[in-house]
Structures are given as structure tokens and as C-alpha cells.
Structure 1
Amino acid sequence: MSYAGIGISPGNVPVYHGSNLKVFDKRVRVVELVLRFVICGLGVLAAVLVGTDTEVRTIFAIRKRAKFTDMKALVFLVVANAVAAAYSLVQGLRCVVCMLRGKVLFSKPLAWIIFSGDQIMAYVTVAAVASAAQSAVFGKLGQPELQWMKICDLYKKFCNQVGEGLASAVVVSLSMVVLSCISASSLFRLYNGGKNKSNSRW
């Protein structure tokens, strides 16, 4: 049974084909393009906010400077978001070219490359956010059992800016997870029993 280009599978799950599939593909392309450039923009923002963050305090006549390199987790966060931004810029430009050219053959090797790249960046950005968030909690709350003091009580401006960068990094990591799902869907469709080969791939 079918309704205007939508086939009904035995499990009553809609299966798009024909013109409806092209409309669906176009919408997915737009979503991917938006997410690519969101990641690019917020990735740069997160890297700049954390990477340029610094604050000087005088403690017992000794000047102490807090900077992101003092915490390896923040260094990882900056590098991960910078790489994610550069990667997403390249992939975003690819999406623009594909949309402008219309029908572009989407080969399996290219699909695997995009899928693998998105998966790697998703894992890296999530790991960077997790490690930075853990360090941020220790900086905010301290750890009395280990005699770790609440650093954020001394460097409030530094911690606030790190928090802003971390918030941007969280959006970047979530967007990368969504993109990894999109690229996985695009890849698996190429192995859909050879169906819809006449449709445009991107």
C-alpha cells in the first residue's frame, strides 16, 4: 500500500521514495549545512573564550596568573574545538558545493570517510567536554578530602569565561553527535539493497 510516494512497510513504517525522498534529502542537507556552520562558529568561539582566558591575582604579595594551559583538560577542550571548527568548515563547504551542483554522486568510499570523520569528531568533542566539565566542578566546588581549594573563589572572572566557553563546547559536541547520526544514515542508505540508486547522493 502506498500514499503519494510513501510506501508502507510490513511494520507500518513509512518508506520514502521518488519525489518525497528528494524533498526529505533536501531537508537533511539543510539541517547538515546549518549544523556544520553552527559547529564551526561555536567551536571557534569556545576555543577563543577558553584560549584567551587569563586572570592575575596577588596572593600574599605573590602575583599568580591563571590561564587555560594550567589545566590539561582545558588545553584538550581548546584543541578539540579548534579541530572540530576547521573540520566542520571543510565539510560545510562540501555541503554548499553539493547543494549548488544539485545531483552529486555520493560514493561509498566518500560516505565512509565522512562517516568516520564525524564519528571521530563526535567522540573527541564529547570527551573534551566531559573532561573539562569534571575539572570545572573541582575548580568550583573543590575537593576537601584531597585538600583541593575552590579555585573559582579566587579567579571568578577566569572561571566565568571558562564556563561560557564550556557552554559553547557542549552545543558543539551535541551537534557533532547529531551529525554523526546523519552521516551514518546516509552511509547505510547506500547499502539499502541497491534501491534508489537513481536518486541524488551528497
Structure 2
Amino acid sequence: MASPDELKPRAPEPVKPAMVINVVGADLALRFLLFATTLVSLVLMVTSKQTKLVHVPAPFPLYVVTHAKFNHSPALIYFVVAISVALLHSVLTGLISALPICKPAPEAKKLLVLAFLDSLILGVVASAMGAVASIAYIGFKGNSHVRWNKICNIYDKFCRYAGSSVIISLVASIILVLLVMISTYSLYRRSK
């Protein structure tokens, strides 16, 4: 038999408030990190120049001065342009994101536009990274089937700078993914 305490109707348990995430602060911090990573990546790639005295196989000793610069490859030029666009994007969207500090919540249209723009820039940066990664792989390993020699054993500084630039741009693309996630989360939260 049930005791009298068990027969009494129970009061509903209090609902715990959902964890509130400061999306405006996180958005601004990520946009600042995006600015920093794209700026460093751009500076590294643009300054990746190296001049070497290279031995050319010939019947007699022949040395030629050769240069390695980012503007010698269309893929590296595309990378510089894409990272420059991402840098400009980070500045403009950072200013747009800083505006709702005065307001309690950002407008849904602004969040949707930021999510679209972040997704677009993510695609541009990812495609540029793919183009540069293929060039970097050939520079590092070469391709014996088409007789493309590796160049990173000759232009070591150039390859270090370009490789560092690609790695930092990978961080920038991860930041862009996080920005898209924050914008879509904010839109989802506002729709409830």
C-alpha cells in the first residue's frame, strides 16, 4: 500500500534555464582572429622570395641566378588574392558585427547575410588552399612521371614561408567554419 506522501501530487520540477552563449563576443573574437590569421598568411606569402645560384647541368660548370617568388605561379597569385579578399571580409564584417554591441540582439537579416558571406569566403579560401597545396606538394616531392623536379631542396626559405602561409590559412578556414556555425546557431536560437 502506498504511503500518504506518495499519493500527493508532485510539484513540477523547475526548468533549468538553457545555457546562454555570448555569441556577439565570440563572433567579434573570431573575426579578430580571422583578421590576424589572414594578415599573417598574406604577409608570409608575399614575402616568400628567394634568390639562389643554381648549378645547371652542362659539359662545363655553369651557374645561373634564379628567383622564386609567389607571382611566378598562378596558383600562388590566386592564393594571395583569395587571402586578401578574406582579409577585407574580416575587416568589413568585424565592423558590422561590432555594431550590435549597443543593441541587445543582432538582427536576423544581418546574421543571415553574415552566414552567407562567411560561407562564400570559406569556399574561396578553401579552393585557394587546395590550389596552393597541390603546388606545394609538387615543390616538395616533385613528379618524376612528367620530369618536374622538386624545388624545396633548393629554395628552402621560400618553401618554409609558403608552407607556413598555407598552414595559417588553414586556421583561418577553421575560424570561418566556426563563424558560420555561430551565425546559424544564432539564427536557430532566434527562431524558437
TM-score using structure 1 length: 0.78
Q: Name the CA distance, whole Å, in 1 between partners of 2:77 and 2:29.
A: 27
Shift of 1:97: 2.5
- The more displaced of 136-145 and 29-38 is 29-38
Q: Which runs of 5+ in 2 are unaligned?
A: 1-12, 55-61
1:1-202 pair list within 5 angstroms: 3-5=15-17, 16=18, 20=19, 23-24=20-21, 26=22, 28-59=23-54, 60-99=62-101, 101-108=102-109, 110-190=110-190, 192=191, 195=192
After TM superposition, give the deviation of residue 188 of structure 1 in Å. 3.9
| Aligned AA (2:38) | G
Q: Is the 8 A contact 2:100 2:106 kept in 1?
A: no
Shift of 1:178: 1.4
- The amino acid across from 2:33 in the alignment is V
Indicate conservation of the 8 Å contact 2:32/2:90, yes or no.
yes
Contact 1:118 1:183 in 2 (8 A): no
- Where 1:64 maps in the other structure, the secondary structure is strand
CA shift, 1:186, in A, is 2.5
Aligned partners of 1:45 and 1:165 also within 8 Å: yes
Shift of 1:147: 0.5
Residue pair 1:140, 1:150 contacting (<8 A) in 2 also: yes
Moved more, 154-163 or 68-77: 68-77
RMSD: 1.8
Distance 1:153 1:105, change over 3 A: closer
**C-alpha deviations, 1:151-195, integer Å up to 9, x for none?**
1111111101111111111101111111112222233444x2xx4
Change (3 A) 1:2 1:92: farther
Q: How many equivalent pairs are there?
A: 173
TM-score, length-scaled by structure 2: 0.82
Q: Conserved in 1, the CA contact under 8 Å of 2:108 and 2:187?
A: no
Unaligned stretches of 5+ residues in structure 1 = 6-15, 196-202
SS of match in other structure, 2:145: helix
Q: Name the aligned partner's letter for residue 172 of structure 2.
A: V
> Which residue is equivalent to 1:200?
none
Report deviation, 1:104: 4.5
Query: How many percent identity over aligned positions?
Result: 28
Aligned position for 2:9: none
CA distance in 2, matches of 1:179, 1:170: 14
CA offsets 1:128-158 (integer angstroms, 9 cap, x no match): 1122112111100111111010111111111
Letter in 2 for 1:58: L
